[in-house]
Amino acid sequence: MHALPHGRLTWQKRRPPDAVVFTCLAAAALFLALLGFTLILWVREAWPAIRAHGGEMLTSGEWFYRHQHFGALAMIYGSAVVSLLALLLAAPVAFATAIFISEWLPHTLRPWAKAAVEFLAAIPSVIYGLLGIMFLRTWMADWLAPFDPLSGDMLLTAAVLLAVMILPTVTTFAEDSLRAVPAAQRLAARGLALNRTQTIHRIVLPQAWPGMIGAALLGLGRGLGETIAVFLIIGRLDNRLPESLLDPAPLIEPGQTLTSKLGGPETHIAMGDPLHWGAILTLGLILLVLTTLFVSLGNLLLRKNPAHP
């Protein structure tokens, strides 16, 4: 039988919870209570719409609140396409940057590079949105002119802007998981006459890989939740569902995401009408479920890295 962790047990027995422990417990309880309260309030307000239109919301793409149609599928499609595409664009650049910072950059420069990357993450998203309106919209419209888009407001523009926005998040987390591979292993690889490229290939990447995927998923969660920047350049066109999920044509057309809908004036109009208001809050719930899914998965993978066995 295992020996009891004797010291710890006596410590717990002898001393009553002091002020620090008490405060921490109280804060944690308050946090949980707030979270629970928010969720209960949220679901309760959304309930009229879930009861009346729950199924329709997930299967229909028609949203006309004046006619009591609350289909969210086109928005779910918009959110999914925009954030996945953003990730697809951002991840290769972010991974390459992370590898460069972690494996090539001299020790002395590394903190500076990290600080620069994290500075990018701290820029308020409305700034990205305004830059998007001023420059990116026009560039994209000109660049894609052969395909004759109606304007620069399109899913693709939103995806490109979002890619720039999640780039620092993915880079910094990916770099962390590369750094978490112990330096001793790199030294050992050097001792076995592997060069730097081979070390990265054979030793570092295989171990850091889950963490890097985790970083990407955190970026995806970040992208799904982004509101204002997307709102300004996506065009906010309701009810545009493609014939096929692989059809690229909708990418150069305007669309709507869950967040751009929630950021619009309909939230103000919906207040006071239980059904409409509930439908708006249900959009939020759908977003919450999607984001939680990706972020938890990302955290799970990040924790799998070798520094935290």
What residues make contact with other proteins under the rule CB under 8 A?
18-20, 22-23, 26, 64, 66-67, 69, 133, 137-138, 141, 148, 150-153, 232, 235-240, 254, 264-269, 271-273
- Cβ-based nearer residue to other proteins, 185 or 267: 267
Give min distance, CB of 225 to other proteins, in A. 20
Phi and psi at residue 69, in whole multiples of 5°? -105, 125
Quick check: helix, strand or coil at residue 235?
strand
Distance in angstroms (rounded) separating the CA atoms of residues 23 and 37: 21
- SS3 state at 3: coil
CB of 26 to other proteins, least distance (A): 7
Number of Cβ atoms within 10 Å of the Cβ of 102: 22
Closer to other proteins at the Cβ: 222 or 261?
A: 261
Distance CA 92, CA 167 (A): 10
Token pair belonging to 83: 């954030």
**Beta carbons of 231 and 129 less than 8 angstroms apart:** yes
- State the minimum distance, in angstroms, from the CB of residue 263 to other proteins: 9
Closer to other proteins by Cβ: residue 119 or 143: 143
Residue 70 DSSP one-character state: E
Nearest residue (CB) to other proteins, 63 versus 173: 63
Please, which residue, 104 or 139, has the CB nearer to other proteins? 139
For the CB of residue 107, give the shortest distance to other proteins in the complex, in Å. 38
Smallest separation, CB 78 to other proteins (Å)? 12
